[in-house]
Amino acid sequence: MRLHTFLVNALSRSIVANALYMLYRYVYVVVVRGLKVSRADKMVRSQRRSKLAVIGCGPSINQLDSDFFDKLGDYDIAAFSHAALLPTRIDYYMYEIPEGELLKQHEALLYPALKQKQEAGLLHGITLKNPHSKSSSFQALFPSCINTMTFPIHLKSAKKIKQFIKLISFFGLAKKYFFQSRASLFATCYWADALGYEEILLIGIDLNSPRYFYEEENHWLTHIIPNPFSEEELQDVKAHPTNDSATGLKVETALALLKESMQAEVFINNPNSALASVFKFKENP
């Protein structure tokens, strides 16, 4: 217990500790477990567009016009989780293997729908962000998926996070792997900026609620998908888990720090998003 506490404190305070932990994580996955890990930029098409739309699962998705996704022709499109089921092509699908009952739910409800979309030619760039012992069912369905690495940034100091981001960028690592502070959204924005995308449009990225678009009646999906959290767990939660300061640095804060070093211009599609104070509002693509 004392060792665990020491390591947690060291990772939250030290750039060196974070760098060493990332090295250890890479060696463990590649050498000890013998898993094949590819660079994240390997899934990028040679003829990529200059703009990227990143689609999340926030309730604001249900407020979009029915023809909204038809307007994304000038964008490459990245999606998380069930957002890939929306009526649009997906160029990058960033997926992390969940734990417990949520994994069972994904195997029953998400994986078959993703497979149908892939077979229809609308799902590309499937990327497994976290090499996992329980990824066999996913990889069996999607044998062409790219197995890459996500390195969590545990630092809590704004100054040290900015310094660490500069260090990662200096060594050209930001486009090769995912570096994540609290959420996949941070890792994706950092990666997209390193690749040279000029604009990033965030769609369905609300962060001010633990709710998701797919848990209520909507005109996108044919059936409702349960929230991964119970009603009892949701009762006192006012924000998305990644934007709850009680569990660590808010992703809103982390993205504000990342913005300072980004070349890409980032827009938010929902004016009521928790990120509305960080990024400019853009209603239509």
Rounded to two decimals, the pTM is 0.94
Q: Mean pLDDT throughout 9-34? A: 94
Percent pLDDT > 70 in the chain is: 99
Pair of tokens at residue 54: 């990143």
Residue 182: per-residue pLDDT: 87
Q: Which of 190, 110, 15 is nearest to 23 (CA)?
A: 15
Distance CA 129, CA 177 (A): 9
- Where along the chain do its domains lie? 2-281
Pairing state of beta strands 199-203 and 178-180?
unpaired
Position 171 pLDDT exceeds 80: yes
Q: Is the pLDDT of residue 230 over 80?
A: no
| Three-state DSSP class for residue 79 | strand
For 2-281, the fitting CATH number among 1.10.10, 3.30.410, 1.10.15, 3.90.1480 is 3.90.1480
Res 101: pLDDT: 86
